[in-house]
Structure 1
Amino acid sequence: MQHTGHATLSASEKLVVAAAGAAAPSVFNAQPWSFTFTDDGLEVRAESRDAALPTASAVRDVHLSCGAAVLNSRVALARLGHASRVSVLPDPGEPLLVARVHVTAGVPDASLDELYRWVDSRRTNRYPFRPERIPARVLTLLHDAARQEGATLRLLDGEPAYQRMLTSIRRATWTEEEAVRDDREARLSPDSGVSVIPPANLGPVPRRELPDDPPVRDMAEGLDVPGRGSAAFERHPDLAVLETADDGPGAWIGAGQALQRLLLEATGHGVVASFANQPLEDAWLRTEVAAGAAHHGHPQMVLRMGYATARPPAAPRRPLDEVVRYADA
Structure 2
Amino acid sequence: MPHPAHALDAQEQSTLVTAAAAAPSVLNTQPWSFTAGPRGIDVHADPGRAPAATASAARDVHLSCGAAVFNARVALARLGRGARTEVLPEAGDPLLVARVTVADEPPDPELEALYHCVGRRRTNRYPFRPQAVPAGLMLLLYDAAAWEGATLRALDEEPEYQRVLTLIRKAAWTEDERAREDRAALLGAGSGPPVLPVENLGPVPRGLSEGPAVRDLADGLDLPGRGTATFEQHPTLAVLETADDDPVSWVAGGQALERVLLEATGRGVAASFANQPLEDAELREDVSSSAAHFGHPQMVLRLGYPLTVPPAAPRRPEAEVLRGVEP
Gaps of 5+ in 2: none
Moved more, 242-251 or 209-218: 209-218
* Corresponding letter in the other structure for 1:20: A
TM-score by length of 2: 0.95
Percent identity for Structure 1 against Structure 2 = 61
Q: Indicate how the Cα distance of structure 1 residues 223 and 174 shifts in structure 2: closer, same or farther if over 3 A, else same.
A: same
| 8 Å CA contact 2:53, 2:182 repeated in 1 | no
1:227 pairs with 219, 225, 246, which one? 225
Matches within 5 A, 1:84-233: 84-191=83-190, 196-207=195-206, 209-233=207-231
Moved more, 299-308 or 175-184: 175-184
Matches within 5 A, 1:309-324: 309-324=307-322
| 8 Å CA contact 1:85, 1:101 repeated in 2 | yes
| 8 Å CA contact 1:151, 1:254 repeated in 2 | yes
The residue that corresponds to 2:296 in the other structure is 298
The residue that corresponds to 2:283 in the other structure is 285
Gaps of 5+ in 1: none
| 8 Å CA contact 2:82, 2:106 repeated in 1 | yes
TM-score by length of 1: 0.95
| 8 Å CA contact 1:190, 1:196 repeated in 2 | no
Q: 1:152 deviation in Å? A: 0.3
Q: Indicate how the Cα distance of structure 1 residues 32 and 130 shifts in structure 2: closer, same or farther if over 3 A, else same.
A: same
Q: 1:326 deviation in Å? A: 3.3
Q: Indicate how the Cα distance of structure 1 residues 328 and 21 shifts in structure 2: closer, same or farther if over 3 A, else same.
A: closer
Q: How many residue pairs end up in the alignment?
A: 324
Matched, 1:247 2:245: yes
* Corresponding letter in the other structure for 2:318: L
Matched, 1:20 2:19: yes
**Partners of 2:191 and 2:97 in 1: how far apart?**
25
| 8 Å CA contact 2:28, 2:196 repeated in 1 | yes
**Partners of 1:51 and 1:77 in 2: how far apart?**
27
Query: Residue deviations 1:167-207, cap 9 Å, x none?
Result: 00010000111111111111112336575201110000000
* Corresponding letter in the other structure for 1:28: L
**Partners of 1:318 and 1:87 in 2: how far apart?**
25
The residue that corresponds to 2:7 in the other structure is 8
**Partners of 1:26 and 1:126 in 2: how far apart?**
14
Q: Indicate how the Cα distance of structure 1 residues 238 and 48 shifts in structure 2: closer, same or farther if over 3 A, else same.
A: same
| 8 Å CA contact 1:195, 1:318 repeated in 2 | no
The residue that corresponds to 1:74 in the other structure is 73
| 8 Å CA contact 1:38, 1:327 repeated in 2 | yes
**Partners of 2:257 and 2:310 in 1: how far apart?**
20
Q: Indicate how the Cα distance of structure 1 residues 95 and 10 shifts in structure 2: closer, same or farther if over 3 A, else same.
A: same
